[in-house]
Amino acid sequence: MKNRLYTYADYCSWPEEERWELINGTAYDMSPAPSRRHQEIAGEVFRRLSNFVQDTSCRAYVAPFDVRLSEQPNPEDNEVTNVVQPDVSVFCSPDMLDEAGAIGPPDIAVEILSPYTSIKDQREKLALYEHFEVKEYWIIDPANYTVALYSLRLTGGAEYGKPELFGLGDQLHSRLLDGFSLDLATLFAE
């Protein structure tokens, strides 16, 4: 990709077999495909979240699922410069969902680190999700058997504080989904 700013309109014109994300107009190649381990963890997190929210207004999605983020309400495709595909996302506002995916921030975004996306997930996506006020951002690190959970604080402006860190013997508890917990020993079992 050339050094220029891209929009969702550009993104929609690219070959379907290629996977990309846009962050502030910069294109990020999503290849190679995630590892088997990555997919197992994503599947388990999705299964647990989807089952938990089943009888609520919330819905869980697994990548590929386009999440378009824009400063403008009801933006045109050529005005959207952020398109991400969280590994797992939860939306509790059905009005943000459309046939193309979502236009607006998820309530929960989950990213599973891989060698190819680690820096982007911990730097660019963290800043993007904080800016667009994603209420919870979970960064799962399979190599170290840890999860960092960032919760949005609304005191003096929306921002993430220090993350809660969970390890192999811990239960991750969502602040957003009252009663949801995830046993990390089970999540990381091989």
Range of the domain at 123: 8-187
How far is residue 20's CA from residue 40's CA, in Å, rounded to a whole number? 21
pLDDT digits (tens, 9 = 90+) for 27-54: 999 878 889 999 999 999 999 999 999 9
Question: pTM of this prediction?
Answer: 0.95
How far is residue 162's CA from residue 89's CA, in Å, rounded to a whole number? 21
Please report whether residue 83 resides in a domain: yes
Tokens of 109: 């975004």
Please report whether residue 1 resides in a domain: no
Tokens of 96: 């943000």
Please report whether residue 113 resides in a domain: yes
- Split into its structural domains, the chain has a count of 1
Q: Given this model, what pLDDT does residue 2 score? A: 58
Successive 10-residue mean pLDDT values, the chain, 190 residues = 84 92 94 89 97 97 97 92 98 95 97 93 97 97 97 84 95 96 93
Tokens of 185: 């020993």
- In the predicted model, what is the mean pLDDT of the chain? 94
- In 3D, which of 130, 119, 132, 189 has the Cα closest to residue 163? 130
